[in-house]
Amino acid sequence: MTAKRDHTEKEDRGMLDLIKKTLLTGAGLAVMTKEKIQELVGELVKKGPLRYLRRPPTMASDNR
């Protein structure tokens, strides 16, 4: 019975390692996305003010 228990513990560790790596990968992607957005905003600020787009006709008639 000990051999089976050890095997299960190894599987548990493997699953926990997989979950840990998945979470760390997701966090890394979130950081990369944040940095990319900050870079894009920085470039837009350097280029100057953006022109406002007109609302589509369906929205222009909306009384907001």
Question: Residue 23's pLDDT is what?
Answer: 92
pLDDT score for 21: 92
Rounded Cα–Cα distance for residues 15 and 62 (Å): 53
What is the predicted pLDDT for the residue at 51?
60
Predicted confidence at residue 1, as pLDDT, reads 47
CB of 34 within 8 A of CB of 40?
Answer: no
Q: How far apart are CA 27 and CA 10, in angstroms?
A: 26
Give domain limits for the chain: 2-45
- 0.85 surpassed by pTM: no
Tens-digit pLDDT string for the chain (64 aa): 455 566 688 888 888 999 999 999 889 888 888 888 888 888 887 887 666 556 666 655 555 5
